[in-house]
Structure 1
Amino acid sequence: MKFVFFHLMPYPYLPDDFDERYSSPSLTFPNKHFDPQLGTQLYHRYLDELEHADRLGFDGIGVNEHHQTAYGLMPSPNIMAAALARRTERAQIMVLGNAIGIRGNPLRVAEEIAMLDHLTNGRLVSGFVRGIGWEYFGHSINPARSRDRFNEAHDLIIKAWTSDEMFQWISPNYEFRYVNLWPRPLQQPHPPIYIPGAGSTETMRFCAEKRYTYMSVYAPTPLVGRWFDGYRQAAAELGYTPEPEKLGLSIPIFVAETDEEAHRAARQHLTWLFHKGLKQGPEIMFPPGYMSQSSMRGLLMSGAKPFPELTYEEIITGGMALVGSPDTVIARIRELQEQLGFGQLIGLFSIGDMTHEETVRSMELFAANVIPAVRALGTQEAMAAAP
């Protein structure tokens, strides 16, 4: 199994009256609540944690893109990847990913990822995301054009990476008279591509057709199981069986010496993540036209509670977080892997308003005790030997 240390880089210093006064930390939450001095400290702290994950032996260190939100302070994940490129040595640097649907110039993404591939000596993973509904509002783009813009931007980037001659690109959303990428990527034909999915049947099919890695977002285990099954079914219809590493389970993780200590500390931080960071109503998450009718129907029929309504106990029992001693987390990973069949675990260790010291202790316990115990899970050999 492959283990990824993923970071959201949240801004945890929300006002005391946040719950009463503000409907979300995103889009309309006033930036007067951002303290530049605290922000500077956070950026350097978070980069320290990502670099430490490389030293601890995580297979990948992941960053992502969000705009106009306290939920994640990375409007440009490529800048963070560049900051990590020369200060890490072994782990893949995983941009999970660039929101190409809201980019006015996808060629800039192609150029920057190609540069990063060289700066990392071929350790780069390129993720593509559509961007969340509110990010289309924040960029004055009709969210009903999200899927088309994403698909066209993706196709343009792939062709720019793989063509060795200049070409012209004219499509409904983008027009470039000259496409002649310098530099070309180091990895050939291009860096590995990861796509997160939240139940969209179009995304499952897209990943299966391209044989990309499909990542879950935070959701109850039965719902993630349906998503992974949808990806596997789409692959089966195309005549192949995806290897477990093509499925990545994204999940918050908190490890302490004992179960009691872990739950006592994690309750506050997971509550911050789900009740404050993920306090985003459907009107800004899924505006009209953002999802197809079939995907929206599946979302509505899932029966999943809105994140802010979940109790801490529901978060744990629903499989939306791994919390406990190393032995407990090992046992839970084995259960989830047997149930879901994933080959990558994409862990959020810096959860909500956690301190740096708590984050480091949790990731060190995980790296020293959990990774060696479950490393063999999720391989083709292990899956073949399973009942």
Structure 2
Amino acid sequence: MSTRSLQFFHFGLMPYPHIPPAEELTSTWVTLSNRHYDPELGHRLYNEYLDHAVLAERLGYDGTCVNEHHQNAYGTMPDPNVMASHIVARTSKIRVGIVGNALPLHDNPLRVAESVAMLDVISGGRIISGFVRGTGMEYHSLRANPATSRERFWEAHDLIVKAWADDGPFDWQGKHFDIPYVNPWPRPLQKPHPPIWLPGQGSFETIREAAKRRYPFMMVFAPLSFTKVNYDMYRKAAAEFGYEPAPEQLAFCVPTYVAETEAKAHEETREHMMWLFSRGLKIPDYHWLPPGYLSGQSLRGMIAGKRKFGIKDHVDLTYQDLLDEQYILVGTPAQVAEKLAAYTEDLGAGIHVGSSMQVGDMPSWKVEKNMTLFAEEVMPLFRPPGNQPAWARGVPVPGSPESLNA
């Protein structure tokens, strides 16, 4: 078994699964009519999803995560801070990751700074603040300019970090934001600010900037081979900035399901994993990659990577493809632990984000069963004796100054 350790973060995408079959849809995003959404059913689903986050604390997960997406059935969380507030109110110890707020889509970044700071104070300093650019689809849904999103992202990032860390009021005069009084109340409890994570899918610029700032980088929905390529890019960039990254700076988001036998695991999860990739991620290229969203270098790298590793579009992946390429981890606890060891031993990763625990149209009883079995039989294999979560052992939050100086 691996000599390395992992931290385990629950992550439910909070989808609305009751939509037409994939073959009847052009896209699950942007243009799928909201006439398919039943708020009464949505009420039940949201509360089930929140129950899963609370269960994560009871089972001893290191954290639980929410994120931001717009106008889709794949993940109905247009405001992740609202969902985080409910989780904070119903838990007391678990770390809550917002992975993350899509900065270029906000007209005024101070609204993000204020919301996250409020959550950090209310929670007693349990917030992890992920920042994302938002997927290409969001730029259609919210009528944002993808060509300026990267520079807008980093200006918003710099403004928020300064607003959290420095005394106000001060003025901000940038290319995209002109704010005469930057003076947010409250300020976050964690100093100088909550840990910042950067999720991504292989953008060269994102990886380099994450390494420069020593932010944990989370690879999302990618095959093991491509994850390794991106981790190598992070390590190369870190070396240029004069350090070797710790395992806690490398995270992977891989849907995971365990059951008593291998056959039962596949039987219980196959249709739900396929919903995620063939229906939830049914997105035409013109929605996924609007002009200007990727730099020429990142676009070339993505095309070259897909050719080199034979990477298919999500909707073209078979269930066997998902297993073979390790987009997903399915099996007995021992089998899944062995696959996780590849991430720790071969890739040097330190954080498993299990979007895993609630996938597609998976019913709540399967989610709870999976979470419980995973917590009881997989997590202890990557932890010190006692199977305590990081927050109970006093382990610094990944990305905090304490973790980077450990």
1:46 aligns with 2:49: yes
Separation in 1, partners of 2:162, 2:382 = 38
1:2 aligns with 2:7: yes
1:125 maps to: 128
Give the C-alpha shift of residue 281 in structure 1: 2.1
1:14 maps to: 19
2:235 maps to: 232
Separation in 2, partners of 1:145, 1:299 = 20
Give the C-alpha shift of residue 199 in structure 1: 1.1
Matches within 5 A, 1:301-340: 301-303=304-306, 304-340=311-347
Contact 2:22-2:282 within 8 A present in 1 as well = no
2:271 maps to: 268
Q: Which amino acid aligns with 1:105?
A: N
After superposition, the CA RMSD in angstroms is: 1.2
Give the C-alpha shift of residue 47 in structure 1: 0.2
The counterpart of 1:342, out of the listed 349, 363, 371, is 349
Give the C-alpha shift of residue 173 in structure 1: 1.1
Q: Which amino acid aligns with 2:173?
A: I
1:161 maps to: 164
2:404 maps to: none
1:202 aligns with 2:194: no
The counterpart of 1:142, out of the listed 128, 141, 145, is 145
Matches within 5 A, 1:108-123: 108-123=111-126
Give the C-alpha shift of residue 265 in structure 1: 1.6
1:355 maps to: 363
Moved more, 215-224 or 335-344: 335-344
Unaligned runs of 5+ in 1: 380-387
Separation in 2, partners of 1:102, 1:262 = 39
Separation in 2, partners of 1:265, 1:197 = 29
SS in 1 for 2:358: coil
The counterpart of 1:193, out of the listed 196, 205, 208, is 196
Unaligned runs of 5+ in 2: 1-5, 385-394, 396-406
Give the C-alpha shift of residue 175 in structure 1: 1.2
Deviations 1:18-60 (A, max 9, x none): 3233211100000000011110100001000110011100000
SS in 2 for 1:364: helix
Separation in 1, partners of 2:145, 2:196 = 26
User: Relative contact order, CA 8 A, sep 6+: which one is greater?
Assistant: 2
Give the C-alpha shift of residue 272 in structure 1: 0.4
Separation in 1, partners of 2:250, 2:342 = 16
Separation in 2, partners of 1:170, 1:257 = 59
2:96 maps to: 93
1:174 maps to: 177
Moved more, 278-287 or 199-208: 278-287
Give the C-alpha shift of residue 198 in structure 1: 1.1
1:385 maps to: none
Q: Which amino acid aligns with 1:371?
A: M
Deviations 1:305-347 (A, max 9, x none): 0011011001001011110111111111112322211000000
Deviations 1:82-132 (A, max 9, x none): 111121122101101000111111100000111000111011100000001
Q: Which amino acid aligns with 2:335?
A: T
Separation in 1, partners of 2:168, 2:122 = 24
SS in 2 for 1:240: coil
Q: Which amino acid aligns with 1:318?
A: E
Deviations 1:251-276 (A, max 9, x none): 00111111010011211011000000
Matches within 5 A, 1:361-372: 361-372=369-380
Separation in 2, partners of 1:264, 1:114 = 43
Q: Which amino acid aligns with 1:330?
A: A
Q: Could you tell me the TM-score, scaled by structure 1's length?
A: 0.95
1:28 maps to: 31
Give the C-alpha shift of residue 170 in structure 1: 1.5
Separation in 2, partners of 1:274, 1:111 = 35
Give the C-alpha shift of residue 134 in structure 1: 1.4
SS in 2 for 1:111: helix
SS in 2 for 1:158: helix
Give the C-alpha shift of residue 150 in structure 1: 0.4
Separation in 2, partners of 1:193, 1:140 = 26
Separation in 2, partners of 1:338, 1:133 = 33
Moved more, 163-172 or 124-133: 163-172
Separation in 1, partners of 2:344, 2:197 = 19
